[in-house]
Amino acid sequence: MIWNVERETIGRGQLEELQLARLQQTLKNVYQNVPFYREQFDQQGLKPEDCKSLKDISRFPFTVKTDLRENYPFNMFAVPKNKIVRIHASSGTTGKPTVVGYTQKDINTWAELVARMVTMAGVSDEDVAQVCFGYGLFTGAFGLHYGLEKVGAMVVPTSTGNTERQIMLMQDFETTAVISTPTYAMHMAETAKKMGIDPVKLPIKVGLFGSEAWTDSMRVELEKTWGIKATDNYGLSEIIGPGVAGECLETCGMHIAEDHFLVEIIDPETGEVLDYGEEGELVITSLTKEALPIIRYRTRDITRLSPEPCKCGRSTVRMSKVSGRTDDMMIISGVNVFPSQIESVLLETDGISPHYQIILTKRGYLDAMEVQVEPAGSAFTGNFRDLEALEAKVRSRLSSVLSLKAKVKLVEPGSLQRYEGKAKRVIDKRDQKPGVSS
């Protein structure tokens, strides 16, 4: 089923007309109401009227995360405070969070976009949807919550944590759709097994996973472990939260809500706009946001766009799975590598579990990487030789597939940290002084 047939199957010409009208309106709005943008445009000698076609967007300056931080908390808002009905924030690892605001109309738009996205994943009023994202400043839980209610699903807002209770409620309420990060889904499955419950036997049909990068190998693992269809969905607080893009059951890329967002792919080094099919950084301009309109936001997420028609009937451009963030790329002995590439190698190796951690250190002037990973339960014989052979296998696959020299350490099952939200896969100790341990 398609939630909004008119918008999701719109013809290209009609869509572009709508996008241009909305873009011109957005540029006027930010120029009039957000001093940050007025200054930026003035500095470049640009007026909103200079945007005569969609391509003209490339003449306008980018917005980056630090712009939001420098305008903390509310200076990027385009409406007075009394029009704001909700605040969310994305947790920065250091310093102040990035604050985002919503008018009532923004909240309604958000629910509409999430309704489209959950419908793509086959969720309807027949479903019991358990939201295992943290309720709070994070956009994940509230975003999914309102969209799921809009389609009429029975929403179970369990939030994160208390994992045994999550499993008990899945069983008792006959949950059919689970919503979480892929990492937490893996952890929940493990907990279910410890409780003597086979996740495959639970009534869950579909998982809507997002908020962090995950590979197709992880999809295979999640689908097998839970006996479900695993779908991907993408979003970010600065743009609206979840609902920017989502996968239909064809699982061949995420449909972007192009009537609300104008997307570009750029070369992250030069800022040059790239063509469909080329991999680069996703840049998003909001077209309908009232509280926090945003121009050419550099997401740092690496993906590519495909305009090919999808079998599901939706006409919107799809983005491929995010392969990493430009700021997550590691340079190890001169080789550029993303955590997702390591995840693929690990999960495609028999006997390896999806629980891993990457540790970066410095040896002299050289970077060194250690991959700590738990063997899959069945492969853990405890026999030293077997473990050594498995380590050697992973090491040689990392070296042949990624041309990467890494130390591989198999660790006891259950010993690595488990995450209830986004996983922190990389621990970078390269800035630590010698002799400092943690």
Q: Which residues bind ligand DLL (CB under 6 A)?
A: 90, 133, 139-140, 210-213, 232-237, 241-242, 299, 301, 322, 325
Helix (H, G, I), strand (E, B) or coil at 311: coil
> What sign does the dihedral 245-236-343-416 (CA atoms) show?
negative
Pick the closer one to ligand DLL by CB: 231 or 353: 231
In angstroms, the CA 383 to CA 53 distance is 66
For the bound state, the minimum distance from the C-beta of residue 181 to ligand DLL, rounded and expressed in Å, comes to 8
In angstroms, the CA 229 to CA 232 distance is 10
For the bound state, the minimum distance from the C-beta of residue 438 to ligand DLL, rounded and expressed in Å, comes to 25
Q: By beta-carbon distance, which residue lies closest to ligand DLL?
A: 210
For the bound state, the minimum distance from the C-beta of residue 323 to ligand DLL, rounded and expressed in Å, comes to 9
Pick the closer one to ligand DLL by CB: 158 or 233: 233
For the bound state, the minimum distance from the C-beta of residue 53 to ligand DLL, rounded and expressed in Å, comes to 28
For the bound state, the minimum distance from the C-beta of residue 157 to ligand DLL, rounded and expressed in Å, comes to 14
In angstroms, the CA 21 to CA 381 distance is 64
Strand 177-180 versus strand 206-210 pairing type: parallel
Distances (CA, A) of 331 to 14, 326, 334, 344, 361: 44, 12, 6, 18, 12
Stretch (H or E) spanning 114: helix 104-120
Q: Is 327 exposed, middle or buried (0-12, 13-18, 19+ CB in 10 A)?
A: exposed
For the bound state, the minimum distance from the C-beta of residue 245 to ligand DLL, rounded and expressed in Å, comes to 8
Residues in a beta bridge with 331: 336
In angstroms, the CA 326 to CA 65 distance is 13
Pick the closer one to ligand DLL by CB: 103 or 181: 181
Pick the closer one to ligand DLL by CB: 63 or 233: 233
Pick the closer one to ligand DLL by CB: 170 or 236: 236
Helix (H, G, I), strand (E, B) or coil at 56: helix
Pick the closer one to ligand DLL by CB: 97 or 413: 97
Distances (CA, A) of 173 to 121, 182, 314: 20, 22, 33
For the bound state, the minimum distance from the C-beta of residue 370 to ligand DLL, rounded and expressed in Å, comes to 24
Q: How many residues are present in the chain? A: 438
Pick the closer one to ligand DLL by CB: 237 or 344: 237
Pick the closer one to ligand DLL by CB: 90 or 124: 90
Instruction: Please compute Rg for the chain using Cα positions.
Output: 22
For the bound state, the minimum distance from the C-beta of residue 343 to ligand DLL, rounded and expressed in Å, comes to 12
